[in-house]
C-alpha cells in the first residue's frame, strides 16, 4: 500500500514547484486552485486529490519554505554546542539560508515575504515553533546564570525585539545590508552579557565596571 502514497507525495511536491513558478511569474498575488490546475494541465477535480482547498495549498507552500529552517533549528537545539555558540548558530544558520535564497532570486524572496505577511495565519505556527526552540536555548542559558531577574517568556519577547532584522528580513529597507553574521555575533554577545531584569538603576551604572574590562 506504500506505492500510491509515495506517488501522491511526489505529485504534491511537483505541484508545489509549480506554485513557486506562479509566484515567480506573478509576484505576491494569491492564486486559486483553478489557476493551479490550469498551470498543471489538470482538471480542478483531479487537483483536489492532492490539495483539498486553497488553504491546503498555502499551508503546503509554507511547510516547504520552513522545512529546512525547522530542521536546522532542531539540529542546533539538540547539539552539544556551548550555549553562546548555540544561540548564535540558531539565528546565523537560518540567516545564511535566507540570504542564499534572497541572493538566488531577490524578487521571489520578496514575494514570499509579502505572502507571509498577507497569510499570517498560515505561518503563525512556524513562528511559535521557532519561539519554542528559542525558549529551550534560553532555558539552558538561564541555567548557566544568564538573564538574571527575567522569566523565559520575557527573554523570548526581548530577544525577538532585538534580533528582528536578522530573523524577519525586510529587504526593502537598508537594514538587510547590516544584518550580517558578524553583526549578529556582536548582538548575541550583547544580549547574553547585557540583558538582565534590572531596569531602574541607570545612574549607578554610568562609568561603572563592565564585563570586558573585568574579564580582560
The site for a copy of itself, by CB under 8 A, has a size of: 58
Query: Of the candidates 134, 143, 198, 136, which has an alpha carbon nearest to the alpha carbon of residue 162?
Result: 134
Instruction: List binders of a copy of itself among 4-63 (CB under 8 A).
Output: none
The CB-of-104 to a copy of itself minimum distance in angstroms stands at 24
The CB-of-204 to a copy of itself minimum distance in angstroms stands at 8
Residue 191 near residue 155, CB atoms below 8 Å: no
Residue 184 near residue 93, CB atoms below 8 Å: no
For the purposes of burial, counting CB atoms within 10 Å of the CB of 198, is it exposed (0-12), middle (13-18) or buried (19 or more)? exposed
CA 103 to centroid of chain Cα atoms? 17
Residue 85 binds a copy of itself, judged by CB under 8 A: yes
The CB-of-73 to a copy of itself minimum distance in angstroms stands at 19
Pairwise CA distance, residues 89 & 71, whole Å: 13
Residue from 84, 112, 130, 134 in contact with a copy of itself (CB under 8 A): 84
User: Which one, 53 or 157, has the nearer CB to a copy of itself?
Assistant: 157
Close Cβ partners of 47 (under 8 Å, ≥ 6 residues apart): 15, 33, 36, 37, 40
User: Which one, 10 or 198, has the nearer CB to a copy of itself?
Assistant: 198
Q: How many CB atoms lie within 10 A of CB 72?
A: 18
**Residue 211: all three cell numbers together:** 564585563
Instruction: List binders of a copy of itself among 154-213 (CB under 8 A).
Output: 157-158, 160-166, 168, 172-173, 175, 178-179, 182-183, 185-187, 189-200, 202-213
User: Which one, 20 or 131, has the nearer CB to a copy of itself?
Assistant: 131
Residue from 88, 90, 91, 112 in contact with a copy of itself (CB under 8 A): 88
Residue 135 binds a copy of itself, judged by CB under 8 A: no
Amino acid at each position: 500500500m506504500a506505492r500510491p502514497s509515495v506517488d501522491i507525495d511526489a505529485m504534491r511536491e511537483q505541484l508545489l514547484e509549480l506554485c513557486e513558478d506562479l509566484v515567480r511569474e506573478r509576484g505576491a498575488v494569491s492564486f486559486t486552485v483553478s489557476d493551479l490546475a490550469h498551470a498543471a494541465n489538470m482538471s480542478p477535480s483531479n487537483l483536489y486529490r492532492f490539495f483539498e482547498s486553497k488553504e491546503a495549498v498555502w499551508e503546503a507552500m509554507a511547510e516547504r519554505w520552513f522545512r529546512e529552517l525547522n530542521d536546522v533549528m532542531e539540529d542546533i537545539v539538540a547539539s552539544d554546542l556551548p550555549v553562546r555558540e548555540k544561540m548564535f548558530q540558531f539565528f546565523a544558520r537560518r540567516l545564511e539560508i535566507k540570504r542564499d535564497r534572497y541572493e538566488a532570486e531577490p524578487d521571489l524572496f520578496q514575494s514570499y515575504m509579502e505572502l507571509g505577511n498577507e497569510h499570517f495565519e498560515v505561518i503563525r505556527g512556524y513562528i511559535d515553533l521557532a519561539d519554542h526552540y528559542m525558549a529551550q536555548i534560553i532555558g539552558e542559558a538561564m541555567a548557566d546564570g544568564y538573564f538574571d531577574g527575567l522569566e523565559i517568556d520575557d527573554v523570548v519577547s526581548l530577544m525577538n525585539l532585538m534580533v528582528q532584522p536578522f530573523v524577519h528580513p525586510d529587504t526593502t529597507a537598508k537594514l538587510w545590508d547590516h544584518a550580517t553574521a558578524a553583526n549578529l555575533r556582536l548582538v548575541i554577545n550583547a544580549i547574553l552579557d547585557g540583558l538582565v531584569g534590572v531596569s531602574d538603576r541607570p545612574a549607578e551604572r554610568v562609568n561603572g565596571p563592565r564585563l570586558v574590562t573585568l574579564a580582560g
